[in-house]
């Protein structure tokens, strides 16, 4: 079994916390005479505006933001740089699901060397478990979380005389109505075919488990019953033409969403910020958020989690102390958390950050873009329904890429949903064993 087999277990206690935001914590004191420049790789919208407050507070530290796009683009370049021994930034944004594989490279600084454990108490407990699973080494500073909910165009649903679907059965029926009445020009939903975590979040909401620690080894079940249930459901909608399969975060997707030809989707808590930032005035005020449809009506609303990310410091950084300070400030400073919510819709990982007035300010984005709805309340409810017993494995990056291969074959009609999941399981399992992991 590989060393640093870092894993994460999600315990979303976000909405049960009752914390008022006090003054920012005391951040590490550094040599202010030393002039340094930090390079930061992140895809958070408006991060350059956020760090202006940091450079004002720490004028000796310059910050260069490099946005390489979404996770996959950043991860490919970061992995190459870490393996090459050069070219990596000081700080990089990494989603929780991908953190184990990067920790496994040995290219991340153990931030406990720079006092990171002193800040554990300021974060929602489960998020610290994501970055420090054994309670000693700290591989990153938690940034945000991603409980799952539905976003939709209220105006177009009203146009077709439809209600917000509360069950998946209702969603399927309404998808057929929208497709038929629009002559195929409007789709109720969209299947993100190249983002395994999106699909996994939907299965997660049904209790699906994909990875589980088993003593010193692992158990992998990518083709679990919930995964098959969810994928067969969506494949049925795709075959009928009732939903689209446009790539996530693509120009085509944003154009369709802005024009009202895709009128709903399932997004993490950070998703609404992407809509506000990408669509700007186009369809502004017309979107709303609602709980995830349920397989069974009534009862507690169940949800999953998509993404959520952290900030790592790479071993190639010549200024790890300053880089650690920046990562802490970015995720614990009230000004940074407020700016990241307003500019990028990041749902905080810090306990106190969840009670910041900005999260409930309906006059600013992303709530302003969503018609003045307090969308934080919707996502707080979603967080209550997330299954806490969920783990990621260090070979997830391969699983993520292989998912794209199998789903592409399914959409082309070369595999059934069950065959696609079975192939995903078999090929990923074989690769994990090849890489030296003890897994069955």
Tokens of 317: 């950084």
Give 384-393 pLDDT, tens digit per residue.
Answer: 788 777 888 9
Kindly report the backbone phi and psi dihedral angles of residue 374, in degrees, each rounded to the nearest multiple of 5, phi listed first. -80, 85
Mean pLDDT throughout 322-330? 97
Terminal-residue alpha carbon distance, the chain: 12
pLDDT (0 to 100) of residue 23: 65
CB-count exposure of residue 91 (10 Å: 0-12, 13-18, 19+): buried
- The CATH number of 8-145+307-360 is 3.40.190.10
Average pLDDT along the chain: 91
* pLDDT band, very low/low/confident/very high, at 2 (cuts 50, 70, 90): very low
Those residues whose C-beta lies under 8 Å from the C-beta of residue 334, and which sit 6 or more positions away, are: 21, 24, 353, 356
Give 254-280 pLDDT, tens digit per residue.
Answer: 999 999 999 999 999 989 999 999 999
pLDDT at 344 over 50: yes
Task: Give domain limits for the chain.
Answer: 8-145+307-360, 148-302+390-434
CB 43: neighbour CB atoms within 10 A? 18
Mean pLDDT throughout 22-36? 85
pLDDT (0 to 100) of residue 355: 78
Fold match flag (8-145+307-360 vs 148-302+390-434): yes
Element (H, E) at 348: strand 347-348
Mean pLDDT throughout 407-425? 98
Greater confidence (335 vs 343) lies with: 335
CA distances, 359 to each of 20, 120, 269, 419 (Å): 13, 22, 11, 43
pLDDT (0 to 100) of residue 7: 42
> Would you call 319 helix, strand, or coil by DSSP?
coil
What number of H helices and E strands is found in the chain?
Answer: 16, 16
CB 351: neighbour CB atoms within 10 A? 20
pLDDT (0 to 100) of residue 145: 87
Tokens of 95: 């989603």
Greater confidence (140 vs 17) lies with: 140
Give 90-127 pLDDT, tens digit per residue.
Answer: 999 999 989 988 998 999 999 999 999 999 999 887 78
Mean pLDDT throughout 68-78? 87
Tokens of 246: 């446009």
Tokens of 84: 């090459």
CA atoms of 380 and 385, how far apart (whole Å): 9
Minimal CA–CA distance to 150: which of 198, 111, 104?
A: 198
Minimal CA–CA distance to 21: which of 345, 296, 274, 356?
A: 356
Element (H, E) at 347: strand 347-348
Q: Residues 148-302+390-434: name the CATH superfamily.
A: Periplasmic binding protein-like II (3.40.190.10)
Q: Are the C-beta atoms of 111 and 327 separated by less than 8 Å?
A: yes
pLDDT (0 to 100) of residue 360: 87
pLDDT at 4 over 70: no
For 198-201, the CB contacts below 8 A with 24+ separation are: 198/248, 198/266, 198/306, 199/227, 199/230, 199/231, 199/403, 199/407, 200/227, 200/304, 200/306, 201/146, 201/148, 201/266, 201/268, 201/304, 201/305, 201/306
Q: Which residues of 180-215 are buried (b: 16+ CB within 10 A; e: fewer)?
A: eebeeebbbbbbbbbbbbbbbbbbbbbbbbbbbeee
CB-count exposure of residue 300 (10 Å: 0-12, 13-18, 19+): exposed
Phi-psi region of 36 (alpha: psi -120 to 50; beta: other; left: phi over 0): beta
Mean pLDDT throughout 360-376? 93
CA atoms of 206 and 46, how far apart (whole Å): 34
């Amino acid at each position: 079994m590989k060393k640093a087999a870092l894993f994460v277990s999600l315990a979303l206690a976000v909405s049960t916390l009752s914390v008022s935001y006090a003054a920012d914590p005391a951040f590490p004191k550094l040599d202010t005479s030393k002039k340094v420049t930090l390079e930061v790789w992140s895809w958070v919208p408006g991060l350059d505006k956020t760090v202006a407050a940091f450079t004002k507070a720490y004028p000796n530290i310059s910050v260069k933001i490099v946005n390489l796009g979404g996770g996959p683009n950043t991860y490919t370049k970061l992995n190459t740089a870490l393996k090459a021994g050069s070219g990596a930034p000081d700080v990089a944004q990494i989603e929780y699901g991908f953190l184990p594989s990067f920790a496994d490279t040995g290219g991340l600084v153990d931030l406990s060397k720079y006092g990171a454990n002193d800040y554990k108490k300021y974060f929602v407990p489960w998020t610290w478990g994501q970055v420090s699973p054994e309670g000693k080494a700290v591989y990153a500073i938690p940034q945000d979380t991603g409980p799952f909910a539905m976003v939709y165009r209220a105006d177009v649903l009203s146009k077709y005389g439809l209600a917000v679907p509360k069950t998946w059965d209702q969603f399927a029926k309404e998808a057929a109505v929208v497709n038929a009445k629009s002559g195929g020009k409007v789709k109720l939903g969209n299947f993100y075919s190249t983002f395994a975590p999106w699909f996994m979040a939907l299965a997660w909401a049904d209790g699906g488990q994909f990875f589980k620690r088993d003593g010193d080894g692992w158990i992998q079940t990518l083709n679990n019953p919930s995964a098959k249930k969810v994928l067969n459901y969506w494949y049925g909608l795709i075959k009928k033409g009732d939903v689209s399969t446009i790539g996530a975060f693509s120009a085509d997707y944003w154009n369709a969403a802005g024009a009202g030809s895709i009128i709903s989707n399932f997004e993490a808590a950070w998703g609404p910020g992407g809509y506000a930032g990408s669509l700007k005035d186009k369809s502004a005020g017309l979107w709303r958020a609602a709980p995830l449809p349920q397989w069974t009506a009534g009862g507690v609303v169940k949800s999953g989690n998509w993404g959520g990310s952290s900030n790592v410091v790479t071993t190639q950084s010549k200024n790890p102390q300053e880089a650690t300070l920046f990562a802490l400030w970015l995720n614990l400073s009230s000004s940074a958390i407020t700016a990241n919510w307003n500019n990028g819709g990041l749902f905080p990982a810090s306990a106190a950050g969840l009670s910041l007035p900005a999260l409930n300010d309906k006059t600013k984005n992303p709530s302003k873009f969503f018609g003045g709805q307090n969308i934080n309340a919707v996502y707080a409810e979603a967080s209550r329904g997330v299954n806490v017993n969920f783990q990621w494995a260090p070979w997830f990056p391969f699983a993520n890429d292989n998912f794209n291969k199998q789903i592409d074959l399914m959409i082309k009609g070369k595999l059934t949903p069950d065959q696609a999941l079975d192939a995903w399981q078999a090929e990923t399992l074989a690769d994990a064993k090849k890489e030296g992991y003890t897994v069955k």
